[in-house]
């Protein structure tokens, strides 16, 4: 007898970057369902970015976390280089 579980693993991060609209615009085109994981990004009126990542299993969640957190980090680093 086998039982299937539909556990979905989720991680939610909130960021308050200096230029939230630029980070949002840079990361938004990269969001897509990538097989066993998916991500969404929202921009609140107060300038807070919320990144939600779900994965069908822990390895899928970890891989998606690495990808999307790195994208946010790179977008912030590029602001420091480009903006005075």
> What value does the mean pLDDT take over residues 54-77?
94
CA 58/CA 52 separation, integer angstroms: 15
Element (H, E) at 39: strand 37-43
23 burial (CB, 10 Å; 0-12 / 13-18 / 19+) is buried
CATH code at 9-82: 3.30.310.50
> What value does the mean pLDDT take over residues 31-55?
92
Taking alpha carbons only, the member of 28, 21, 78 closest to residue 44 is 21
Question: Dmax of the chain from CA atoms?
Answer: 63
Task: Give the pLDDT band (50/70/90) at residue 6.
Answer: low
> What value does the mean pLDDT take over residues 8-20?
94
């Amino acid at each position: 007898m086998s039982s299937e579980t539909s556990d979905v693993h989720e991680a939610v991060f909130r960021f308050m970057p200096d230029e939230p609209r630029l980070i949002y615009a840079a990361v938004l085109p990269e969001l897509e369902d990538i097989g066993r994981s998916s991500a969404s990004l929202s921009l609140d009126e107060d300038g807070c970015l919320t990144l939600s990542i779900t994965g069908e299993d822990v390895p899928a969640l970890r891989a998606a976390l690495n990808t999307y957190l790195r994208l946010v980090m790179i977008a912030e680093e590029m602001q420091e280089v480009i903006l005075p």
